[in-house]
Amino acid sequence: MTSPNPLAAPPTDCATVGSPQQLNPAFGPGIGGNPIWIIAASTTIHVGFGDGTLRGVTYTDHGWSVKVLWVVDPNFNGQIQVSGGLLDTEHPLWMQFGGPPVKSAVLDPTKAPTGAGGWPGFPSYLFIPTAGCYFITASWASGHWRLVVAAGL
């Protein structure tokens, strides 16, 4: 493993669109769109805490780890492919869903644990190598979405 890169504050000029929607009171607001959301209170991903500390955060060869919960509409039964990258270079955003880190994952809600209100959930980590604007995409047989988030310390 390489030594940790210093991490700057999230940029303020990312072209984020939309705002978190309240999906279920048991797990809070989410960003994304039907049928899959990332549980987040904003379109900014903070590595560690907003006060500049990195308590509980690990640095890996793929970047700083950030816990993320993905939830799927309980009425959706298809597979969903998720991926992402750094907006200006498209350098891949690594993610981890229980196994080794990957650049892209296929999520199957019929094989996921069901959480509050019957919503299948996928706990994961995103690995943020540097502060920046990132895109995250989700695609399924009948559609897709792409969102932009700011990430940093």
71 located within any domain: yes
Q: State the pLDDT confidence band at 26, using cuts at 50, 70 and 90.
A: confident
**How much is the average pLDDT of 61-85?**
94
**How much is the average pLDDT of 30-56?**
75
1 located within any domain: no
In this prediction, residue 37 carries a pLDDT of: 94
Closest CA to 122 of 65, 150, 62, 80: 80
Residue 95, pLDDT above cutoff 90: yes
44-46/143-152 β-pairing:
parallel
Q: Which residue range is the domain that position 105 belongs to? A: 21-152
Across-strand partners of 149? 134
CATH code, domain with 135: 2.60.40.2550
9 located within any domain: no
**How much is the average pLDDT of 5-26?**
83
57 located within any domain: yes
Q: State the pLDDT confidence band at 24, using cuts at 50, 70 and 90.
A: confident
**Percent over 90 (pLDDT), the chain:** 53
5 located within any domain: no
In this prediction, residue 2 carries a pLDDT of: 58
78 located within any domain: yes
| Top-confidence residue, 57 or 10 | 10
Q: State the pLDDT confidence band at 34, using cuts at 50, 70 and 90.
A: very high
| Top-confidence residue, 95 or 50 | 95
Write out the DSSP string of 120-148: BEEEEEEEE-SSEEEEEEEEETTEEEEEE
- If residue 29 lies in a helix (H) or strand (E), which one and from where to where? strand 28-33
29 located within any domain: yes
Q: How many domains does the chain have?
A: 1
Answer whether 41's CB lies under 8 Å from 34's CB: no
Cα(76)–Cα(34) distance, integer angstroms: 9
Order of strands, edge to edge, in the sheet holding 80-86?
A: 44-46, 143-152, 132-140, 80-86, 104-107
7 located within any domain: no
In this prediction, residue 1 carries a pLDDT of: 56
